Amino acid sequence: MTIELYTWNTPNGRKISVALEEMGLPYKVIPVNITKGEQMAPEFLKLSPNNKIPAIVDPEGPDGKPVSIFESGAILLYLGEKTGKFLPKSLSQRIPVYEWLMWQMGGFGPMPGQVHHFIALENEQDRAYGLKRFMAETRRLYGVLDRRLAGRDFVAGDLSVADFAILGWAWRHPRHKVDLADFPNVERWYDALMARPGVKRGMDAKLD
C-alpha cells in the first residue's frame, strides 16, 4: 500500500522523503504549494490542523486501517514504529533518539528557519537584528551537534530517525551561511549520510 506524502521542497519535507526511501516504503508525493497558500485548503487542514507540511496518509495503518499523521517528528516516529527500522527496540537505546529528535524539532529547525526568514527581507534595517540574533544561535546549534558527533558516526548510536530529522535542516547549511568545514564532525556525518543511496533518492525526490 502506497503512503501519500503531502509536502513541499523544504527541510521538513526532505526528512520524510529520506526516511521513506531509507525504509524502503512505497510512497507518492502530493505537492502542497506553500507559496500559494495551499496549506490553508480545508482538505489539507483535515490532515494537518496546524496548516504545516508535511503530513502523510498511510492506507495501511494500525490494525490495517488508514491513518493520517502530521508534524514531521511524529511522522518519523510512526514510520520507525511501523517498519522497526531506525528506531531501537530497547527504551535505553531510544532515549538518545528521542533527545536528538526533540533537539532538532525544538531548536535546529526553528532557529535556522528564522535565518531563512530574515535573510529574505529586502530592508537592511529589518534584516540586521534578526540575522545577527538567529545566525548566532544557529551556529551555536551546529556547535552542539559537532560536539555530539565527536567520536560518533550518528547522533544517537546507530543510524536513526533523529539523523534524518537533523539532516533535513543541515541540508540547507548554505542558506544558513554556515560552512561545514567550521564543524568537521558535522561535515563528516553529513557527507556520509548524503552518500547513502536511500538518502540520495530522498533528496532527489521531486517534492514540488
DSSP designation for 2: P
- Tell me the per-residue pLDDT of 160-184, one tens digit each, with 9 for 90 and over: 999 999 999 999 999 999 999 999 9
Q: Looking at the predicted structure, is the pLDDT value of residue 115 above 90? A: no
Mean predicted confidence (pLDDT) in 88-116? 94
The mean pLDDT of 85-89, rounded to a whole number, is: 97
pLDDT above 90 (res 123): no
Q: Is the separation of the CB atoms in 28 and 2 below 8 Å? A: yes
Tell which residue, 77, 101, 73, has the closest CA to residue 157: 101
Ramachandran angles phi, psi of 123, nearest 5°: -75, 120
User: Would you call 186 helix, strand, or coil by DSSP?
Assistant: helix
> Tens digit of pLDDT for each residue in 127-173?
888 888 899 999 999 999 999 999 999 999 999 999 999 999 999 99
Secondary structure element (H or E) that encloses residue 132, with its range: helix 124-148
What per-residue confidence (pLDDT) applies to 118?
85
126 pLDDT higher than 80: no
- pLDDT of residue 117 exceeding 80: yes
Mean of the per-residue pLDDT values for the chain? 95
**How large a percentage of the chain has pLDDT more than 90?**
87
What's this model's pTM, rounded to 2 decimal places? 0.87
pLDDT of residue 88 exceeding 90: yes
pLDDT of residue 20 exceeding 90: yes
CA distance 39 to 57: 15
pLDDT of residue 75: 98
List of residues 6+ apart from 18 with CB closer than 8 A = 164, 167, 168, 198, 199, 202, 203
Q: Output the pLDDT for position 120.
A: 82
CA atoms within 13 A on the CB side of 145: 31
